[in-house]
Amino acid sequence: MTIALSGRKIAGKLQEQFPGSIVQSDESSLLVKSEHLLAIATFLKTTPGFDFDYLTSVTAVDYRDYFELVYHLISIEHNHSLVLKVRCHDRENPTVPSVVGVWRGADFQEREIYDLMGIKFEGHPNLKRIVLWEGFQGHPLRKEYKGIYK
Amino acid sequence: MPIKTEPFAINFGPFHPSTHGVFRMRTTLDGEVIIDLEPVFGYLHRGIEKLAEGRTYTQNIPFTDRLDYLASMSNNLAYVLAVEKLAGVPVPERAEYLRVIMAELQRIASHLIAVGSLLNDCGAFMTPILYMIREREKILDLFEMVSGQRLTYNYMRIGGVSQDIPDEFLPALEKFVERMPSYIDEYDRLLAENEILLARLKGVGILSKGQAINISASGPVLRGSGVEWDIRKVDPYSVYDRFEFDIPTGTLGDSYDRYRVRIEEMRQSLRIIEQAMKQLPSGAVKTDVPWLMLPPRGEAYAHIESPKGELGFYIVSDNSAKPYRFHIRAPSLINLTALRDMSVGWKIADLIAIFGSIDICMGEVDR
Amino acid sequence: MSLLDTSPINWATTGTLSPDWPGGYWLHWVVFTIIILVFVLAMVMGFIYIERRFVARIQSRLGPNRAGLFGLLQPVFDAIKVLVKEDIVPAGGDKLVHWWAPVVAFVPALMIFVVIPFQDGALLADLNIGILYVVAVGSVGMVGVFMAGWGSNNKYSVIGAMRAVAQIITYEIPLGLAIISVVLLSGSLSLNEIVNSQNIPFILLQPLGFLIYFVSACAELNRTPFDLLEADSEIVAGYHIEYSGMKFAIFYLAEYIEALAVSAIITALFLSGWRGPLLPPWLWFLIKVVVVFMFIVWVRGTIPRLRVDHAMALSWKFLLPVALLNLFITSIEVILWPLVLPWPIILLNLAIMVVLILLWSRFFKLGGGRVEV
Amino acid sequence: MEIDKRHRLHIYSDEELDKNEGEIIELLKAASQQPVPDQDEWLDEQLRRNILVTSVEILLNAARCASLWPVVCFPACCAFEFITTAASRFDISRFGMEIIRASPRQADLMITAGTLTWKNAPNVRRVYDQMAEPKWVIAMGACAISGGIFSGSYSVVPGYNRIIPVDVYVPGCPPRPEALLYGIEQLRRKISSLQFLA
């Protein structure tokens, strides 16, 4: 059984390493500041005891006021999981650091979020539309997008 | 010393006989050798994630059928598991067993197509895939018995399955489970003793263990690289913790290992089905849920081991009748991350074989 | 000699014909040209039908059975449909090359039949260099394939054409060496003479030569496992990707005519041609040709395709040295021929074949791996 | 792990290609807001009048009916019902249709098995244009007819008949192989009453 690590406990450890990086933490997830995302991701991947070497899924949710990116991490060695979250309050030009350098598996998923949600990933090597074509107006998964065919 | 020629660009797909749908690869070739490759997606992007936000939880089940259309039952299962996790709906024992039986049958059906089309891509002029489809038809018959459909079953429901199995189902299933191993052995012999195929698959398209984990590969691609990671074992959902089965793994991570893993998985699936048939309890098959269910505010991520890999559904609810966010973690898409690394330096024919050995389904890649 | 004597019934029943039959240079030419054309077209139709039915049976299905009795009209209907379909020349293609390519591919395939004996002396021209002529003319068709690939303005077709050229150069050599072994046994280059000298079918005396010839001929025919130049799953349709209508039909026909020619040559070289007990010679010839063709179809229905470098490696590393060894052994046997009875030689040759193949498959490794780029 | 630098050797850069393809898609989208009119409407009247076709046409039409070679056009789910139809149980080879041509030049029939998206529409149009006359199209499945359950989506073309003329519609999601066979039978009926030489 994959053990879901408590976000609160990990938040304590991260707080020592990266002061001021944690916004919020509860039993199931851990919300961090986007400027610390890359450092925390590297830390979680390389620190023995955590070893989160497997990025299951990256996705973004549009909560109207802000975008929330959700990273599902798993450690194959220890068989435990963690949900990492990042918020992005800028609706006009949302930008989040890319984690492709840490987990290659984020490559296509981040491109997909860029395409459908319009969030830019800084440091992504090949950030362009993936499922829609160049010149498509808007980002369909945003809540304000009315995607009915006319 | 290979002779270098002037590189040229060539487009594989979207209408190409062996791209398993409408996949496209922009490749740069040096003679026959691939020196660069960029996958292009989106030719089947139907916007399921957006459409699902406009339908109720139950109405979304048919969408999941059309994701990985070779494994509709597995997709149904993953989705209903996510909604059940979100809303806390209990599932009757009998329904859990039926789900396991269906998911495992679906795995066999999907792997049959995967292996068949891999051989077809290697140029075996339709013969293997036609034999595989012959066996798959028997599974489709079983599914038709329970759901009335041949491809898009829409069988699982939130809190169970749509209907109980008919009386003829179990005898037919028993007959199938009895006969299938000999067919699998036959197909195994077809490949394991064919020099041409061994030469074309062994050592081709190697994906190392570290690479496989780093690109978040899952399913047979991950296990072919030697990582013993099967969600049925490491994070058992439904009633998988009650069955005995092994996780087949490869050693080298080449196309041949991925093929072997699929063949072995079919055998393991049969083992699970046999046990599930023996343990199948009687009783109800569906918990009553409100017609218009309103799950509490929150989010849930449920993942299963689908034939292609880890299929996950991430659902956010805002306490309305429709999901607020409906995200699909598609194994086919993520497994393709490695395609470039695996195929650069190989020949055109290898690219096709490597691509076939990853086994993708375009409905799931593009969604 | 009157025209009456040339009626088919006559030569069909008597079985023996004078070598200059039916007499008269021009009459002979006209009669045999007609016979060859009719025979080739009828057999090709039959072959297409046989192949589709037989492959369908291998794949556990039925095959065409609706058009006419048992679907016998299927190839006829296919031909009519393809012939009246629109003909397209791609916009950027080389029109002249595109037009001439099917002709260049088709005519040499048909020309092979000039020297194929249907029965003793029954052939258009009993050239004393018959088999040399076959080898020479047979490879010219590849020029047409290359023209098709080049003139189509399509990258897939160019890849197909390049593969075709590489393949024909590679497999021509073991093919020639296998033929030379047969020629050593028979002592003549004329196909008619070769058949006449086969008191024992040469497949028994030359089992290894037969295998080498069969594999090389399959490669020359571009049939599975060597259909690299039209590999469906890789380069879509290869050299004829841009061809439609009549020109495509000609390519399609040329492919089957070559298959027919190869079956006929294998029959003549290794299966003692028209010779056989009881049945009339032309029937023996037909039966053997069809059996050989069905064997080719069987291979097609079961074996996957080789990779391009594997195909090259198979020829250069396996077939060529083995064919040379076989030629050497055969020469020694021919020198010693009068001293030894045929049956021990047959057993000896079978043993040599088994040993050589087993030994060589130890040394030999198919193709290379990844290329660093 | 760092992603190695991509060395692209196309004549056009990827960005140019993407932009160009996007423009083509937008153009096609703007141009195909209405269904393509059925080119064979005259046929209904002819069928009613029951005009005799000449003997040459009978032969030609019989040939065309008997050898319909489908082209590879398998976008989505229905493709597998088509492949099953081609396989041993339903066995499309009985009708001489087992030669599935990968090259559109040599094919007669396009079985559009699956959802069509705007991104894919130019390719379908191109494959259709590349087919040599005479050619036919069977729209297989709900998505091919009207967009099916995806018809409300931002990226889905509501039916192939926006892009190419369709001869026979086979409903179902996906249609059963029997239904597809019936559709093929209907197409053969249509072909056998065509007049080309009149």
- For D178, the closest chain B residue by CA position comes to B150
Pick from D36, D175, D17: nearest CA to D111 = D175
Q: What is the pLDDT of residue D133?
A: 78
B37 touching A, CB under 8 A?
A: no
Of D8, D76, D83, the CB nearest to B44: D76
Q: What is the pLDDT of residue C349?
A: 78
Q: What percent of chain B has pLDDT over 90?
A: 0
Q: pLDDT, tens digit, for every residue of B306-352? A: 888 888 899 998 888 888 888 888 888 888 888 888 888 888 888 88
How confident is the prediction along chain C (373 residues), in pLDDT tens digits per residue?
A: 344 344 443 444 444 444 455 556 677 777 778 888 888 888 888 888 888 888 888 888 888 888 778 888 888 888 888 888 888 888 877 888 888 888 888 888 888 888 888 777 667 777 778 888 888 888 888 888 888 888 888 888 888 888 888 888 888 889 888 888 888 888 888 888 788 887 778 887 888 888 889 888 888 888 778 888 777 777 787 788 888 888 888 888 888 888 888 888 888 888 887 777 877 877 888 888 889 888 888 888 888 888 888 888 888 888 888 888 888 888 888 787 665 667 777 787 788 888 888 888 777 776 667 777 6
Cis status, amide bond into A48, omega within 30 of 0: no
Alpha carbon of B334: minimum distance to chain C alpha carbons (Å)? 24
A49 touching D, CB under 8 A?
A: no
Encoded tokens for A80: 């435990």
Alpha carbon of B243: minimum distance to chain D alpha carbons (Å)? 32
Map tokens 């087993």 to a residue: C358
**Greater model confidence, C18 or B66:** B66
Phi, psi of B360 (to 5 degrees): -110, 170
Q: What is the pLDDT of residue C21?
A: 52
B252 touching C, CB under 8 A?
A: no
Of B17, B43, B130, the CB nearest to D117: B43
Domain annotation covers residue B49: yes
Alpha carbon of C94: minimum distance to chain B alpha carbons (Å)? 20
Q: What is the pLDDT of residue A77?
A: 83
State how far the Cα of C59 lies from the Cα of B251, in Å rounded to an integer.
33
Instruction: Tell me which amino acid residue C311 is.
Output: A
Q: Which long-range contacts does B183-192 make (Cβ < 8 Å, 24+ apart)?
A: B183/B135, B184/B263, B184/B266, B184/B267, B184/B270, B187/B115, B187/B128, B187/B131, B187/B132, B187/B263, B188/B263, B190/B119, B190/B128, B191/B115, B191/B119, B191/B259
What torsion, rounded to 10 degrees, do the Cα atoms D55, D61, D65, D66 define? Answer: 50
Q: What is the pLDDT of residue D12?
A: 59
Q: What is the pLDDT of residue D13?
A: 67
Q: Choose, out of D9, D85, D128, D129, the residue to mutate when testing the contact with B (most B CBs < 10 Å).
A: D9
B3 touching D, CB under 8 A?
A: no
Encoded tokens for B258: 């991925």
Encoded tokens for B323: 């999901």
Q: What is the pLDDT of residue C17?
A: 45
- Domain housing B208: 8-366
Q: What is the pLDDT of residue C122?
A: 66
Q: What is the pLDDT of residue D80?
A: 85
State how far the Cα of B277 lies from the Cα of B55, in Å rounded to an integer.
35
- Tell me the chain B residues in contact with residue A131 when contact means C-beta distances shorter than 8 Å: 41-42, 45, 366-367
Of B32, B126, B196, the CB nearest to C225: B196
Is the Cβ–Cβ distance between D129 and D102 less than 8 Å?
A: no
- For B43, the closest chain D residue by CA position comes to D120
Cis status, amide bond into A97, omega within 30 of 0: no
Per the confidence metrics, is the pTM higher than 0.95?
A: no
Q: What is the pLDDT of residue C183?
A: 86
Pick from C83, C43, C109: nearest CA to C282 = C43
Q: How would DSSP label each residue in C183-194?
A: HHHH--S-HHHH
Q: Do D152 and A125 touch (CB under 8 A)?
A: no
> Which sign, positive or negative, has the C-alpha torsion B136, B139, B145, B148?
negative
Touching status, chains A and C (3+ beta-carbon pairs under 8 Å):
no
Taking each helix axis from N to C end, the angle separating C207-221 and C245-270, rounded to the nearest 10 degrees, works out to 170
Q: Do B352 and C233 touch (CB under 8 A)?
A: yes
Q: What percent of chain D has pLDDT over 70?
A: 83
Of A76, A104, A132, the CB nearest to B227: A76
Q: What is the pLDDT of residue C14?
A: 42
Q: pLDDT, tens digit, for every residue of D172-186? A: 888 888 898 898 888
SS (H, E, C) B52-121: HCCCCCCCCHHHHHCCCCCCHHHHHHHHHHHHHHHHCCCCCHHHHHHHHHHHHHHHHHHHHHHHHHHHHH
Q: What percent of chain D has pLDDT over 90?
A: 0
Q: What is the pLDDT of residue C88?
A: 83
Average pLDDT in the B153-177 region? 87
Based on the structure, what is the number of domains in chain B? Answer: 1
Q: pLDDT, tens digit, for every residue of D120-154? A: 888 888 888 888 878 888 888 888 888 888 887 88
Instruction: Tell me which amino acid residue C245 is.
Output: G
- Beta-bridge partners for A121: A96
B214 touching D, CB under 8 A?
A: yes
Domain annotation covers residue B3: no
**ipTM, interface predicted TM-score of the complex:** 0.85
B149 touching C, CB under 8 A?
A: no
State how far the Cα of C47 lies from the Cα of C75, in Å rounded to an integer.
9
- For B309, the closest chain A residue by CA position comes to A56
CATH value at residue B179: 1.10.645.10
State how far the Cα of D118 lies from the Cα of A128, in Å rounded to an integer.
18
Encoded tokens for D37: 């009119």
- Domain A3-97 annotated CATH 3.30.460.80: yes
Asked whether residue A130 carries a pLDDT value surpassing 60, the answer given is yes
Q: What is the pLDDT of residue C338?
A: 63
Pick from B17, B18, B37: nearest CA to B26 = B37
Domain annotation covers residue B1: no
- For D121, the closest chain A residue by CA position comes to A133
Q: What is the pLDDT of residue A148?
A: 55
**Greater model confidence, D12 or A115:** A115
Q: How would DSSP label each residue in A58-87?
A: EEEEE-SS-EEEEEEEEETTTTEEEEEEEE
Q: pLDDT, tens digit, for every residue of A39-48? A: 888 888 888 8
Q: Do A133 and D22 touch (CB under 8 A)?
A: yes
State how far the Cα of C365 lies from the Cα of D13, in Å rounded to an integer.
40
Alpha carbon of D106: minimum distance to chain C alpha carbons (Å)? 5
Instruction: Tell me which amino acid residue D146 is.
Output: S
Q: How would DSSP label each residue in C79-142?
A: HHHHHTS-----TTS-HHHHHHHHHHHHHHHHHGGGG--SBTTBSS---TTHHHHHHHHHTTHH
Q: What is the pLDDT of residue C3?
A: 40
Return the SS3 of B286: strand
Which chains, if any, share at least 3 CB pairs under 8 A with chain C? B, D
Q: What is the pLDDT of residue C368?
A: 67
- Which helix (H) or strand (E) segment holds residue C214: the answer is helix C207-221
For residue B63, name the pLDDT band (cuts at 50, 70, 90).
confident
Give the contacts of C138 (CB within 8 A, at least 6 positions apart). C108, C109, C112, C220, C258, C261
- Tell me the chain A residues in contact with residue D23 when contact means C-beta distances shorter than 8 Å: 135
Of B35, B46, B363, the CB nearest to D153: B46
Q: Do C366 and B30 touch (CB under 8 A)?
A: no
Q: What is the pLDDT of residue D53?
A: 57
Give start and end residues of each alpha helix (H) in chain D.
Answer: 14-31, 41-49, 55-66, 78-86, 121-130, 142-146, 177-192
B24 touching A, CB under 8 A?
A: no
For residue D195, name the pLDDT band (cuts at 50, 70, 90).
low
Quote the strand ranges of chain B, DSSP E: 8-12, 24-30, 33-40, 156-157, 160-161, 298-306, 309-317, 323-329
What torsion, rounded to 10 degrees, do the Cα atoms D127, D128, D130, D132 define? Answer: 140
- Which helix (H) or strand (E) segment holds residue B281: the answer is none
Is the Cβ–Cβ distance between B37 and B351 less than 8 Å?
A: yes
Of B214, B234, B310, the CB nearest to A103: B214
Report the DSSP pairing between strands B309-317 and B323-329.
antiparallel
- For D74, the closest chain B residue by CA position comes to B21
Cis status, amide bond into C342, omega within 30 of 0: no
**Greater model confidence, C8 or D100:** D100
Q: List the domain boundaries for chain A.
A: 3-97
Tell which B residues from 93 to 132 touch D, by Cβ distance under 8 Å.
113, 129-130
- Across chain D, what does the average pLDDT equal? 78
Which chains, if any, share at least 3 CB pairs under 8 A with chain A? B, D
